[in-house]
Amino acid sequence: MKKRQLMRRKRVLVTGGAGFLGSFLCERLLALGNEVLCADNFFTGTRDNIAAILGNYRFELLRHDITFPLYVEVDEIYNLACPASPIHYQHDPVQTTKTSVHGAINMLGLAKRTGARILQASTSEIYGDPEIHPQNESYWGRVNPIGPRSCYDEGKRCAETLFFDYWRQHRLPIKVARIFNTYGPRMQPDDGRVVSNFVLQALRNQPITIYGDGQQTRSFCFVEDLIEGLIRLMDSPDDVTGPVNLGNPVEFRMLELAQMVIALTGSASKLEYSPLPQDDPRQRQPDIGLARQLLDWQPAVSLEEGLGRTIDYFRQQMDLGQIEG
């Protein structure tokens, strides 16, 4: 990568670049000396997320919905565009599927025309409610194709199919990352994800909502670790296509997470139980052996440290009046 940068600065497109993950990726790519084109339709992304880099002369912002073709000249494409929280992707499920499928077709077509490498931000939802634990990349998944989460799960599965068909048919250099639960600053307060829910409820001393019995598990990866994994995957040799799991292999029960958030915030919140949502996976833990082997990557930030930084962010947003206290 360093040799390429010395020869010519790369021009990188990040779709969904004003979102939670996308904004951190744009910052990191700029820090590496690249030119960055951020495309976002601002359905879930915000200008606040990219405020710190709007003035950078190597950064360009384009309001664009990737369900429509995009005609630009780029060397690399990170396709992150798609609402990722159940509240947002279930708001307009047809559009969610279009974003995953039509968006993939449009971005793959752009990559084919320009000869760009392209990385698909896929998801652990590929595995559905898994029958094996932890989940490795060879597992095909257990997904309900007609449930309320299907627009996202099946949309992402179809996008992976398209990526590998372009690789087989056109020898397009592709990368597919299966992203597990990621958290950190800039998460949207209303996205319904467990970390943002718990942190805000704790900071407000409200009851913390536990769905089901709280024994279901997730594995939480801090955003900076995830971005490092994406960049290493993009910079890997052409024969490394993925899919590659990117996430933290340390598993936590929802009750453990709630107790940790209460302790870190010093909150007076109590636990409140609600029914488990339909098709909500009982367990989710990545096997990251492939990422360790191919990318020399594994998370470095512990859940306690990452939660502390996330809590500080939300507390600051509340102090500034950006979030209701």
Dist CA 158 CA 162 (whole Å)? 6
Average pLDDT, the chain: 93
One-character DSSP codes across 206-232: PPEEEETTS--EEE-EEHHHHHHHHHH
Tens digit of pLDDT for each residue in 17-44? 999 999 999 999 999 999 999 999 999 9
Please give the domain boundaries of the chain with CATH numbers for all domains.
2-182+222-249+285-301 (3.40.50.720)
The letter for the amino acid at 164 is F
Tens digit of pLDDT for each residue in 254-303? 999 999 999 999 999 999 998 877 767 778 899 999 999 999 999 999 99
Dist CA 322 CA 44 (whole Å)? 16
Tens digit of pLDDT for each residue in 49-74? 999 999 999 999 999 999 999 999 99
Q: Which residues pair with 218 in a beta bridge?
A: 252
Q: Is the pLDDT of residue 5 over 80?
A: no
Q: What is the pLDDT of residue 51?
A: 97
Q: What is the pLDDT of residue 302?
A: 96
Dist CA 69 CA 110 (whole Å)? 8
Q: Which residues pair with 210 in a beta bridge?
A: 273
Q: Which residues pair with 39 in a beta bridge?
A: 15, 62
Tens digit of pLDDT for each residue in 88-101? 878 889 999 999 99
- Residue 39 contacts residue 15 (beta carbons within 8 Å): yes
Q: What tokens does 230 get?
A: 């994406």
Query: To 10 degrees, the CA torsion angle through 246, 106, 28, 1?
Result: 90
Dist CA 25 CA 44 (whole Å)? 16
- In angstroms, the Cα distances linking 265 to 21, 112, 186, 317 are 24, 49, 18, 15
Q: What is the pLDDT of residue 209?
A: 93
Catalytic residues: 152
State how far Cα 273 lies from the chain centre. Answer: 27
Tens digit of pLDDT for each residue in 181-220? 999 999 998 888 899 999 999 999 999 999 888 898 899 9
Dist CA 303 CA 250 (whole Å)? 9
Q: What is the pLDDT of residue 321?
A: 84
